[in-house]
Structure 1
Amino acid sequence: MNKNNLNNFVYNVREISSIRELCDGSCENFSGNTAFVFREGDGVREVTYGEVYDNIKAFASYLRSLGLEGKKIAVLGKNCYEWALTYLTVCAGVGIIVPLDKDLSAEDIKYLVKDSETAAIVFAPEQAEKLDGIDDDVIKLSSADMPLYIAEGKKLRDEGDRAYEQHKINPYSLGILIYTSGTTGVSKGVMLSQYNICSNIVHVARRTAVYPYDRTLSVLPLHHTYECMAGFLSFFYSGASIAYNNSLRQLQADFVLFKPTVFVAVPVLLEKLYSMIVKKYAKMKGGKAVLAVQRSLSKLVGKSSSQRKVFATVNASLGGKLNRILCGAAALSPEAYHGYESFGYRVYVGYGLTETSPVCIMHHDGYTSADDIGYPLVGVSVKIVEPNADGVGELAIKGSNVMLGYYKNPEATAQVIRDGWFYTGDLAKRLENGAYKIMGRIKSMIVLENGKKVFPEEIEYYLDSNKYVAESFVFGKEENGVTTVTASIIPDNDAIDEELSKSGDKMTDEERENRIKAIISSAVAGVNAHFAAYKAVKKIIIRKSDFIKTTTHKIKRLEEKNKEEE
Structure 2
Amino acid sequence: MKTSPVLEVRTIKNLKDMIEQSSKLFANKNAFCVKTKDNLYKGITFSEFKDDIDSFGTALLELGIGKGFIAVIGENRYEWCVTYLSTINGAGVVVPLDKELPLPELENLLRQSNANVVVYSGKFDDGIKEMSPRLSNIKYFINMNTDEHENESFLSFWALLRKGKKLLESGKKDYLNASIDENAMSAMIFTSGTTDHAKAVMLSHRNICSNIMAVSASIYMDSTDSVVSILPLHHTYECTAGFLTMIYNGATITFNEGLKYIGKNLKEAQPSILILVPLILESMYNKIWEQASKKKSLKFKLKAGLFISNLLYNVFKIDIRRKLFKSVIDNVGGKLRLVISGAAALDPEVAKGFESMGIKVLQGYGLTEASPIVAVNRDKQYRHDSIGLPIPGLDVEISNPDKDGLGEIIVKGDSVMLGYYNNEAATKAVLKNGWLYTGDLGRMDENGFIYITGRQKNIIVTKTGKNIFPEEVEAYINKSPFIKESLVSGRENDKNDETIVVAQIVPDIDAIKARLKIDTEPSPEDVYNLIKSEIKAINKNMPIYKRVVDITIRENEFAKTSSKKIKRYLEKTRV
Q: From 99, 118, 126, give the equivalent of 1:129.
A: 126
Q: From 92, 95, 98, give the equivalent of 2:95.
A: 98
Residue 460 (structure 1) shift:
1.1
- Looking at structure 1, the residues matched to 521 and 125 of structure 2 have their Cα atoms a distance apart, in angstroms, of 50
2:537 counterpart of 1:540: no
Q: From 533, 545, 557, give the equivalent of 2:568.
A: 557
Q: Which residue of 2 aligns with 1:292?
A: 303
- Looking at structure 2, the residues matched to 268 and 297 of structure 1 have their Cα atoms a distance apart, in angstroms, of 28
Q: Which residue of 1 aligns with 2:291?
A: 280
Q: From 500, 503, 506, give the equivalent of 2:516.
A: 500
Q: Which residue of 1 aligns with 2:383?
A: 369
- Looking at structure 2, the residues matched to 149 and 242 of structure 1 have their Cα atoms a distance apart, in angstroms, of 24
- Looking at structure 2, the residues matched to 459 and 106 of structure 1 have their Cα atoms a distance apart, in angstroms, of 35
Residue 493 (structure 1) shift:
3.1
Task: Letter of the 1:354 partner, please give it.
Answer: T
Q: Which residue of 2 aligns with 1:10?
A: 6
TM-score (norm 2): 0.93
Q: From 10, 15, 19, give the equivalent of 2:15.
A: 19
Q: How does 1:70-469 map to 2 (within 5 A)?
A: 70-131=67-128, 132-134=130-132, 135=135, 137-144=138-145, 145-284=156-295, 286-302=297-313, 306-469=320-483
Residue 421 (structure 1) shift:
0.7
Q: After superposition, what is the alpha-carbon deviation per residue over 1:97-120, rounded to whole angstroms, capped at 9, x for unaligned? A: 110111122222222122211111
Of 237-246 and 457-466, deviating more is 457-466
2:32 counterpart of 1:39: no
TM-score (norm 1): 0.94
- Looking at structure 1, the residues matched to 340 and 522 of structure 2 have their Cα atoms a distance apart, in angstroms, of 42
- Looking at structure 2, the residues matched to 47 and 435 of structure 1 have their Cα atoms a distance apart, in angstroms, of 40
Task: State the secondary structure of the residue aligned to 2:176.
Answer: helix
Residue 305 (structure 1) shift:
6.3
What percentage of aligned pairs have identical amino acids? 38
- Looking at structure 2, the residues matched to 244 and 477 of structure 1 have their Cα atoms a distance apart, in angstroms, of 44
Q: Which residue of 2 aligns with 1:486?
A: 502
Q: Residues 496 and 509 from structure 1, CA distance in 2 versus in 1: closer, same or farther, beyond 3 angstroms?
A: closer
**Do the aligned partners of 1:9 and 1:366 also contact (CA within 8 Å) in 2?**
no
Q: After superposition, what is the alpha-carbon deviation per residue over 1:329-356, rounded to whole angstroms, capped at 9, x for unaligned? A: 0111133222211221101111110000
Residue 525 (structure 1) shift:
3.1
- Looking at structure 2, the residues matched to 508 and 317 of structure 1 have their Cα atoms a distance apart, in angstroms, of 31
Q: After superposition, what is the alpha-carbon deviation per residue over 1:493-539, rounded to whole angstroms, capped at 9, x for unaligned? A: 343333323xx9x99955xx555444433332333333322112111
Task: Letter of the 1:394 partner, please give it.
Answer: E
Residue 244 (structure 1) shift:
0.2
Q: Residues 419 and 498 from structure 1, CA distance in 2 versus in 1: closer, same or farther, beyond 3 angstroms?
A: same
Task: Letter of the 2:58 partner, please give it.
Answer: S
**Do the aligned partners of 2:491 and 2:500 also contact (CA within 8 Å) in 1?**
yes
Task: State the secondary structure of the residue aligned to 1:199.
Answer: helix
Residue 268 (structure 1) shift:
0.7
- Looking at structure 1, the residues matched to 330 and 557 of structure 2 have their Cα atoms a distance apart, in angstroms, of 31
Task: Letter of the 1:486 partner, please give it.
Answer: V
**Do the aligned partners of 1:220 and 1:265 also contact (CA within 8 Å) in 2?**
yes
**Do the aligned partners of 2:513 and 2:520 also contact (CA within 8 Å) in 1?**
no
Task: Letter of the 2:113 partner, please give it.
Answer: S
**Do the aligned partners of 2:513 and 2:521 also contact (CA within 8 Å) in 1?**
no
Task: Letter of the 2:96 partner, please give it.
Answer: P
**Do the aligned partners of 1:426 and 1:440 also contact (CA within 8 Å) in 2?**
yes
Residue 542 (structure 1) shift:
2.5
Number of aligned residue pairs: give it: 555
Q: Which residue of 1 aligns with 2:56?
A: 59
**Do the aligned partners of 1:60 and 1:163 also contact (CA within 8 Å) in 2?**
no
2:484 counterpart of 1:470: yes
Of 366-375 and 292-301, deviating more is 292-301
Task: Letter of the 1:491 partner, please give it.
Answer: P
Task: State the secondary structure of the residue aligned to 1:443.
Answer: helix
**Do the aligned partners of 2:347 and 2:385 also contact (CA within 8 Å) in 1?**
no
Of 247-256 and 301-310, deviating more is 301-310
Residue 182 (structure 1) shift:
0.8
Residue 478 (structure 1) shift:
3.6
Structure 1 portions without partners, runs of 5+: none
**Do the aligned partners of 1:297 and 1:310 also contact (CA within 8 Å) in 2?**
no
Task: Letter of the 2:516 partner, please give it.
Answer: L
Of 105-114 and 480-489, deviating more is 480-489
Q: Residues 110 and 509 from structure 1, CA distance in 2 versus in 1: closer, same or farther, beyond 3 angstroms?
A: closer
**Do the aligned partners of 1:340 and 1:347 also contact (CA within 8 Å) in 2?**
yes
- Looking at structure 1, the residues matched to 546 and 57 of structure 2 have their Cα atoms a distance apart, in angstroms, of 57
**Do the aligned partners of 1:109 and 1:130 also contact (CA within 8 Å) in 2?**
no
Q: After superposition, what is the alpha-carbon deviation per residue over 1:355-386, rounded to whole angstroms, capped at 9, x for unaligned? A: 00000111012212221111111111111122
Residue 82 (structure 1) shift:
0.3
Residue 9 (structure 1) shift:
5.3
Task: State the secondary structure of the residue aligned to 1:31.
Answer: coil
- Looking at structure 1, the residues matched to 395 and 3 of structure 2 have their Cα atoms a distance apart, in angstroms, of 12
**Do the aligned partners of 1:23 and 1:92 also contact (CA within 8 Å) in 2?**
no
Of 68-77 and 221-230, deviating more is 68-77
Structure 2 portions without partners, runs of 5+: 146-155
**Do the aligned partners of 1:470 and 1:492 also contact (CA within 8 Å) in 2?**
yes
